[in-house]
Structure formats: C-alpha cells, structure tokens
Chains A and B, each alone.
Chain A
Amino acid sequence: MTNKTLVSATVNGEPVEFFCEPQQSLLECLRDVLGLTGTKEGCNDGNCGACSVLLDGQLVNSCLVLGVEIEGRAVTTVEGLADWHGLHPIQQAFLEADGFQCGFCTPGILIATKALLDREPNPTEEQIRTWLSGNLCRCTGYDKIVRAVQAAACQLNRECEVDA
C-alpha cells in the first residue's frame, strides 16, 4: 500500500480534505476522489487542455499538477463557474453562440476563457486565439468559440459598467 497524504484545500469556494496518493495528479483527485467529473482527461500529458482548471487564479493543466501540490491553495473547476443565480456569463455566452458541439473540451475552454478575461477584459481576436491555443477542440473549427469569448467579454464589461 502506498502512503496517502491528507490534503486540505479550497475547491470551488468550499473547503475540502482528501487523501491523496503521492503520484496522483490533481486531475485524478478531482475526478476520482472528489467526484468532480466536469474536468476532462483528453491526453494526460498536457497537450489538449481539456483538464484546465484555475489554481489560485492561474490557468493550469490539472494532469500536470500533483494532487499534493494543492495543499492550502484554491482550485476552480467548471463546476465552480455557475452559482445560485445561474450560469456564469461565460457559460451563457457559449450557450447562446453555440460555442461547442460535443462539449468535451468545453469545461477546459470555459476555464481558460475565465483566466483570459480575468486578466484581459477586452482581448483582440489574436489574443483569444493565442490564449486558447492550448485547448484543442476537434468539432467546431474554433470560429464559434472565439465569437463566444468575444460575446462573454462584452457581457462582462457591460456588467462591470453597471456595477460601477
């Protein structure tokens, strides 16, 4: 038997504690230990982006982070985007712009979009494409994804203006 480590962290705003084997990736911990299957495995080697999550606000491939590394840190997955009020504006924008087909890469792309818009509220098309180039989508050809990100940016900026 391998020795398991007790990890305490914040996932989607809630405190969690779980036992983690030393070799288990954050992706495995999220999916198999915490039951958060919204984060997907496409390649398990950091090339497809389907497992993208935010770690202390920073975009990471959760297959390349060890579960023990999140001790004391905060993780946001796709399950943490919507709140009691409903869908996050990014989710709403993807829904309205049909920014997905099969939906498998979508959780990672939504998270990558959040990371982009958190740091750059008005990205150019080039910035969006560069930022999302680590998230493979095989269905859409990216056109409607880029437009969904543009629509989400617009919506979030409007909300910012209202708040201001």
Chain B
Amino acid sequence: MSTQKNAQFNVVGERLPRYDGADKVTGKAIFGPDVALPGMLHGFVLRSPHAHARLRSINTSRAEALQGVYAVVTAADLPPAGSTDHRYARDNTFASDKVLYVGHAVAAVAARTQALAEEAARLIEVEYEVLPAVTDVLAAMQDDAPILHEDMRTHSLAGRGEKPSNVASHFQQLKGDPAHGFAEADVIVERECHTATVHQGYIESHAAVATWSDDGVLTVYTTTQGSFAVRDHIVWLLDLPMSQVRVVPTEVGGAFGGKNTSYVDVAAALLARKARRPVKITMPRPDVFLATGPSSGAIFRVKMGAKRDGHITAVQAELFYEAGAYPGSPVGSGATVMFGPYAIPNGQVDGYDVVTNGPRVSSYRAPGGTPGNFAVETLVDELAEKLGMDPIEFRLLNHAHEGDERVDGGTHGSIGGIEVLKAAQACEHYRAPLTGPNQGHGVAHAFWGNWGGRSSCTLSVNGDGSMNLVTSSVDLSGTRTTIAMQAAEALELPPERIRPSVGDTDNTGYADVSAGSRTTYATGIAAIQAAEDVIAQMRARAAALWDVPVENVAYANGVFSAASDLRFTFAELAEQVTGSGGSVSSMANIDAAEWGAGFSTQIADVEVDPETGKVTLLRYTVVQDVGQAVNPTMVEGQMQGGATQGIGWALYEGYAYNEKGQMLNANFLDYKIPTALDVPMIETVIVEVPYPKHPFGVRGVGEPPILPPPAAIANAIYRATGVRPDRLPMTPAHLLEKMGVIGDW
C-alpha cells in the first residue's frame, strides 16, 4: 500500500533503491563465509554430544600429531575468569568444568583444509561424566532438578537464596491493588500457555576470519550486528588492549538479534595466534541451531479481568523463561511489553529467569515479546468476546495514552497505538467477509519500546561535491540507504551525491549493535548532525572566500549565497575548499537517550482443515506506526518480514528435545521456517505518527511486526474451530487435540 508522501521532505519518504543493491544481486557482496586471506587455515569446533556432563579430561595429542594440523585450543588457552559474568562468557566459548548443552564447545582445531580439521577434531579424546539433564523450564525449577551451576542462588526481592537453584532471578512488577481489581471485575479469563524455543533462522551461518600481525595486533573479519560488541567481547576474553583489536564487519546474511553475540571470533583468534596463520571458522548449520543463541521457550500463567462496561480492572501474570545454559533470558522485556498497549489500573507480573540444558539464549527481534503477546492477546480476544464487544473497539476503549503509567512502572511517551488500531479498523480486510467453512478472522495488537543508544557518523566532502558517509552501524537490511537519505535531506542535496558505507572499529566512532530497531533512528540522528555541521563549516569557508560575516551566508537547496551576487553551488564551493585550507568533514557521535515506541496491529484470515488440523493463511495484513517512513518500500519489507517470522513462530517453529536433552531437529528440514508457499502476500498499512524528538519524526520499525502474528492467528483459529490454542507452535497435532479429534500427543 502506498503512503501519502510528506510534502515537507525532499528525500525522506522516497522509494529509493538501496545503495548495496547491485552488489547483492550480482553475488559480489562479501558476507562472513566469503572472506579468504592468503595462507588461511580452516578451523573446526569440537562440541559436546551430552546435554550435561562433567569434563574429566581432554587429550588433544593425537589431533596435534596429524599432518596438516597447525593448532588445537581448549579453555586452557583462555586467560582465567574474573567475575561470574566473565566466567559464563569464558565457559560458553570453551567449556572448562562442565558441558551444559549439546553443542557446547570443548576444543577447536586449525588445519590446512576443512576436512582435515574435522578429521583432527575426531581424534581429540574427551572423557565425560554424564549427568542428568533438564530442558524444561518447570522441571528445572523443581527441588530435585539437576543443578547446572552449583554456586547459583536465586536473586529476588527477598535477596539472595540459600540453596543452589536453576532459577537465576525472580522479579515482580506491581501496580495498584490487583486483588481489589479482580474483585471489581465482572468477567475474568485466564490461561496457561507454553511456547517453544525458536531460532532466528538467519540463512548465513556465523563465520569469522582472524589474523594477527607479528607485533600483536589482531584483526577479525566477522558477520555481526556490532563490530564494537565483538571487539569488546574479544578484549574481555583475551585480555587485550582495545586499540590492538580491529574488527571488520562483513555484509550480514540475516541476524535478527542472533548476531549481537560473538560465537566463533575468540576461537578463531586463539587458533590464529597459535598457528601463526589466518584462521577461518564457519559454523555448520546444525551447530548454529545447537550452539548459538535462540530465543527462550516460555510458560505463562495469565489472568485478566474487566467490568461489564468493557474496562480492564486488573491483570496478573507469571512468566517462566528458559535462559539456556547461563542466566539472561529476555523475561524482563517480555514482562514490560505484554500489557503495554493498555491503561490498566491494577496489575502484578512475576518473572523468572531459569537456566536449562540448552544453548544460552540471545536476542531475537523484539526479545521476549512475541510469546508474551500470544499469552495476553488471546485473553484480550476472549474478554472482548465475553463482553460482546468488537475486538478492536475493546482495545480502543482500554488503550493507553501518552503519560499513562504501565504495569511495569514505565510511562508512555508519544505513541501511535490508537491511530494504528483505527487504521486497522478502517482497512478493507477487517470488514472483508470470509469465503467458506472452517475459516476464521483474527486480530492482535502489540506494543514494543524500541531503542536509541550510541551511534557515530562521519561525512566527508570531496572536491566534486560528492560525499562519503561512513558509520560503524552494521547494515542488516538497508540502513546504509535510510541513513544516507536522512543526511541528504538535511543537506538539501540529491541522495546520489552521498555514498554510504560501513566502517570498522579502527576507522569509525563507537556504535552499539544494530539492534532494537535503533539504527535508522539513532544513526540517522548522527548523520543529520554531521550534515548540519558540514553545512556550518561550508558556510564559514564561503564567508572566508567572500570576505563576508558568516551569518550573512545563507544556504538553501544546495546553494550558498551572500548579498545579491555571491553564489556557490555546493559542488562549486566543495571544489574551492578542497583546493585550499583543508577539506571539510565531520564526525557526529550521539547517545540517543530517548526514542519512540512502536505499535502494530495485525489481521489474519485462516482456514483450518478439520481432519488434518492444517492451518492455511488466506489473507494477512500488518498495520504499524513507524513515525515517519524514511523509505516506505523498505518499511513494508520490515513489516512483511517481521510478520512472516511471527507466522513461523505461530505455526511451525520449535526446538524438539529428547529426554537426554538432545535437539532432534537441528536442520532446516525438521526445524521448518516459512517458505514462499506458506504465506500469502502480506498487505501493509503504514501509519505515521511522528516521533517529536527525531528531526524527521522517525520511529524504529524492525521489531514490532514480529509480535502479533501468533495471537492474531490463534484468534482466527478460534473463530474457525471454536477452540483456543495455548501452545506455540500451533501444530496440527495441538489443534486436533484441542478439537478432540485425537487424544494426548
């Protein structure tokens, strides 16, 4: 769907092709696994076949003796651990005492070829004492559960627990008087939901090439969302000066939060140092499932109450999030956003971060939010139904406004949630009749906070008036283009004058990871500031050339002028200033402390086969507030892609473990992500409620669209079948069981 272009802008709002497009359609773009250096060796990581075991011994001598093997490394090659967090990060690089999940790295080999490195890894003798494993969150919380970390005690409001526990922390959010609120309610609904562990499913595996200079400088080429995050991780684990580590980010073949964390960089660096040769490690696909950072499987117990007039009076929720082998699940952000859209007077949310024998979870697009949205928005749908209200009218009646305090204690800033709901209500799809039996229509709504953070942008003026723009913000899906478009807008020049690129940690200012829907927003602000500074410098140079006071030099539409006869186009002045007095460039470094939240409402039409339980998506619409769409085509792409990931979460995706804690589906055949056949065209409605603290009104876009699909589809399934799913993924087996077609599965 097209948007009305905002007349105040020249470049922002245009559907421009991406700067990196030609390289992406010709195979010339260099991704992580494409990097090769002269003399490079190939690394392979030996991983644990056990979900929980004590490491008795590791004997690497036979591997080292194999011809063509240059280095073997283990945890013994890492500097000793300091803090607990450091120990966790160190142990997740190479296990030292215990292995905590199938796929846990034990050792790594560098050899002349990949095949040889794998052969050598098989010669490493590891003696394990196998321990009982636990992969289920509730089982891990039982008193008799196998304990992963003997020194772990639960952190809670009551302080530090006394007994060893797999519950790393328990927090509580409390607003008003929930007991009183539920007493006031005329209708109360509640449900327990179970959601599976899911993976970001980027198609490009993690890959890194490490090389050392003979004076101790380490360079790492890697596929990552944050070159500085990788640098800082390497510095932390290898105890090196920051200036001695250069991280060069490659093009990134999908990330979605999963490449915020470093997995093979330190191993490659250790191997390269020992071998005195460049070493490349590319993770095989099964290792990506087993040993990177998927998103938490979780369990929710949620209760909501409302008065007959439709007003929500109280909510209560317990969230149990699996962290994997080390603490740090996104239960906090899950709790923060789940009730976020609504003005709720009384609420209590308890969150538990629980370690289990699985890979340490990491971020996945709106971390922690999607399963919580499923739990809450299916209940919201049920409340609306029981009150006899239209589901969007019910949400509008209860919607939060700017200044409202949420259950988590935060206060809403400028938000466009109501505008999003109204746009969904107005769109043709919401009113469109279904066309056959066993079909249903569902809707869900979501809030996501987004992020700001630290960004840097350098803009350099060339003698012909063209400019190079360099940021340290890795471009995951088009931000080079959206950042350059904002610079062009601020410069009042055509975007083709600017060539944007992504720099490395040696030649750019610091930036946080490209995550949290922050890059177009925050790095965009840095680009605008650099552009404004370039204009200011150019005005000063024009003033000097013309010998007039700088305040007399005007700049508009790419032209500097003073008095009636003094005039330079940007390019003319650029030619003058680079010829004498030094060239013009500017670096802006920002830390965006405030940012605009996002909302998305989605509408799903489904058909459920009553005999097989198969769900077919007939029609799908994504409505979202993006503040100001910098490039509407790319915004649509984010909305469609995010929703499709949510559709996969809803219907297909989930880690399957056996009783030994081994993952049974670590491949793209058995861990099914949506294919082109599984989704219809994804209709989009872009809503623009400008965020007042960005010069052009931009809000983050990437994360909100992944939140509503499971609930929207579950609510549609309910209307098609009369049963409410309470599991993700909503497999045919789950639906057939709910429908009473089959028994327990």
Residues of A within 8 A of B (CB): 21, 23, 31, 36-45, 47-48, 50, 77-79, 81-82, 87, 91, 94-96, 98, 100-107, 110, 125, 128-130, 132-146
Sampled A-B contacts (10; CB under 8 Å) = A31-B34, A41-B282, A96-B17, A101-B637, A104-B254, A130-B676, A136-B201, A138-B201, A141-B674, A144-B636
Segment of B18-26, B268-276, B539-547, B713-721 engaged in the interface with chain A: B18-26
Contacts of B667 in A (CB 8 A): 43, 45, 47
B676 touches A105 (CB 8 A): no
When the two chains form the complex, which single residue of B252, B253, B637 contacts A144, counting CB atoms closer than 8 Å?
Answer: B637
Query: Main secondary structure on chain B at its contact with chain A?
Result: loop
Q: How large is the interface on B (under 10, 10 to 19, 20 to 34, 35 or more residues)?
A: 35 or more
B25 touches A110 (CB 8 A): yes
When the two chains form the complex, which single residue of A31, A43, A103 contacts B29, counting CB atoms closer than 8 Å?
Answer: A103
Complex: chain B residue closest to A95, CB-CB: B21
State which residues 659-677 of B face A: CB under 8 Å: 667-669, 673-677
State the Cβ distance, B332 to closest chain A Cβ, in Å: 26
A101 touches B477 (CB 8 A): yes
Q: How far apart sit A145 and B26, CA to CA, in the bound complex (Å)?
A: 16
Complex: chain B residue closest to A50, CB-CB: B203
Does B575 reach chain A (CB closer than 8 Å)? no
Q: How far apart sit A145 and B20, CA to CA, in the bound complex (Å)?
A: 17
B669 touches A45 (CB 8 A): yes
Complex: chain B residue closest to A43, CB-CB: B285
Residue among A21, A43, A98 with the most chain B CB within 10 A? A98
Pairs of residues from A and B, 3 with the lowest C-beta to C-beta distance, nearest first: A38-B27, A104-B253, A103-B24
Given contacts A48-B668, A136-B673, contact A106 B24 (CB under 8 A): yes
Does B492 reach chain A (CB closer than 8 Å)? no
When the two chains form the complex, which single residue of B17, B284, B477, B676 contacts A139, counting CB atoms closer than 8 Å?
Answer: B477
Given contacts A102-B253, A102-B476, A141-B640, contact A82 B205 (CB under 8 A): no
B645 touches A140 (CB 8 A): no
A43 touches B26 (CB 8 A): no
Q: How far apart sit A79 and B202, CA to CA, in the bound complex (Å)?
A: 23
A91 touches B25 (CB 8 A): yes
State which residues 627-647 of B face A: CB under 8 Å: 633-634, 636-637, 640-645
Given contacts A104-B31, A138-B673, contact A81 B26 (CB under 8 A): yes
When the two chains form the complex, which single residue of A40, A43, A110 contacts B33, counting CB atoms closer than 8 Å?
Answer: A40
Given contacts A143-B640, A143-B681, contact A138 B22 (CB under 8 A): no
A141 touches B675 (CB 8 A): no
Does B28 reach chain A (CB closer than 8 Å)? yes
Does B500 reach chain A (CB closer than 8 Å)? no
Contacts of B24 in A (CB 8 A): 100, 103, 106
Identify 20 new A-B residue pairs, CB closer than 8 A, beyond the known A101-B478, A103-B23, A146-B681. A38-B26, A40-B31, A40-B203, A77-B27, A87-B25, A95-B21, A98-B637, A103-B29, A103-B253, A106-B24, A107-B27, A130-B677, A133-B676, A138-B202, A141-B637, A141-B642, A141-B674, A142-B674, A142-B676, A144-B637
Q: How far apart sit A125 and B677, CA to CA, in the bound complex (Å)?
A: 10
Complex: chain A residue closest to B670, CB-CB: A47
Q: Mark B188-224, 1 if CB is under 8 A from A, else 0.
A: 0000000000001111110000000000000000000
State the Cβ distance, A14 to closest chain B Cβ, in Å: 16
Query: Main secondary structure on chain A at its contact with chain B?
Result: loop
B477 touches A78 (CB 8 A): no
Does B548 reach chain A (CB closer than 8 Å)? no
Does B679 reach chain A (CB closer than 8 Å)? yes
Q: How far apart sit A91 and B115, CA to CA, in the bound complex (Å)?
A: 35
B285 touches A42 (CB 8 A): yes
Given contacts A87-B22, A140-B640, contact A40 B682 (CB under 8 A): no
Does B30 reach chain A (CB closer than 8 Å)? yes
Contacts of A132 in B (CB 8 A): 675-676
Q: Mark B506-529, 1 if CB is under 8 A from A, else 0.
A: 000000000000000000000000
A38 touches B28 (CB 8 A): yes
Does B342 reach chain A (CB closer than 8 Å)? no
A133 touches B26 (CB 8 A): no
State which residues 11-47 of B face A: CB under 8 Å: 17-18, 20-31, 33-34
B25 touches A102 (CB 8 A): no
State the Cβ distance, A3 to closest chain B Cβ, in Å: 14
Q: How far apart sit A98 and B227, CA to CA, in the bound complex (Å)?
A: 26
Complex: chain B residue closest to A37, CB-CB: B34
Q: How far apart sit A101 and B481, CA to CA, in the bound complex (Å)?
A: 12
When the two chains form the complex, which single residue of A98, A107, A129 contacts B634, counting CB atoms closer than 8 Å?
Answer: A98
Does B256 reach chain A (CB closer than 8 Å)? yes
Given contacts A40-B253, A45-B669, contact A140 B27 (CB under 8 A): no
Complex: chain B residue closest to A88, CB-CB: B25
Q: How far apart sit A138 and B258, CA to CA, in the bound complex (Å)?
A: 13
Does B408 reach chain A (CB closer than 8 Å)? no
Given contacts A42-B285, A91-B25, A110-B25, contact A138 B637 (CB under 8 A): no
Contacts of A143 in B (CB 8 A): 636, 640, 679, 681-682
State the Cβ distance, A94 to closest chain B Cβ, in Å: 5
Q: How far apart sit A137 and B675, CA to CA, in the bound complex (Å)?
A: 7
Q: How far apart sit A107 and B253, CA to CA, in the bound complex (Å)?
A: 12
Does B381 reach chain A (CB closer than 8 Å)? no
A48 touches B203 (CB 8 A): yes
A103 touches B20 (CB 8 A): yes
Does B377 reach chain A (CB closer than 8 Å)? no
Q: Mark B607-625, 1 if CB is under 8 A from A, else 0.
A: 0000000000000000000
Does B251 reach chain A (CB closer than 8 Å)? yes
State the Cβ distance, A85 to closest chain B Cβ, in Å: 13
Q: How far apart sit A37 and B637, CA to CA, in the bound complex (Å)?
A: 26
B18 touches A98 (CB 8 A): yes
Q: How far apart sit A105 and B673, CA to CA, in the bound complex (Å)?
A: 14
Contacts of A50 in B (CB 8 A): 203
When the two chains form the complex, which single residue of A79, A104, A134 contacts B203, counting CB atoms closer than 8 Å?
Answer: A104
Q: How far apart sit A23 and B252, CA to CA, in the bound complex (Å)?
A: 29
Contacts of A134 in B (CB 8 A): 675
Given contacts A43-B667, A101-B478, A106-B24, contact A138 B256 (CB under 8 A): yes
Contacts of A104 in B (CB 8 A): 31, 202-204, 251, 253-254
Complex: chain B residue closest to A47, CB-CB: B668
Contacts of B634 in A (CB 8 A): 98, 101
When the two chains form the complex, which single residue of B26, B252, B284, B641 contacts A87, counting CB atoms closer than 8 Å?
Answer: B26
A95 touches B25 (CB 8 A): yes
Contacts of A95 in B (CB 8 A): 17, 21-22, 25
Q: How far apart sit A132 and B20, CA to CA, in the bound complex (Å)?
A: 23
Complex: chain A residue closest to B633, CB-CB: A98
Complex: chain B residue closest to A2, CB-CB: B115
B644 touches A142 (CB 8 A): yes
Contacts of B679 in A (CB 8 A): 141-143
Q: How far apart sit A78 and B31, CA to CA, in the bound complex (Å)?
A: 15
B203 touches A137 (CB 8 A): yes
Given contacts A42-B668, A45-B667, contact A145 B676 (CB under 8 A): yes
Q: How far apart sit A135 and B674, CA to CA, in the bound complex (Å)?
A: 10
Residue among A38, A78, A130 with the most chain B CB within 10 A? A38
When the two chains form the complex, which single residue of A42, A43, A136, A144 contacts B675, counting CB atoms closer than 8 Å?
Answer: A136
Contacts of B31 in A (CB 8 A): 40, 104
Q: How far apart sit A39 and B201, CA to CA, in the bound complex (Å)?
A: 19
Contacts of A142 in B (CB 8 A): 640, 644, 674-676, 679
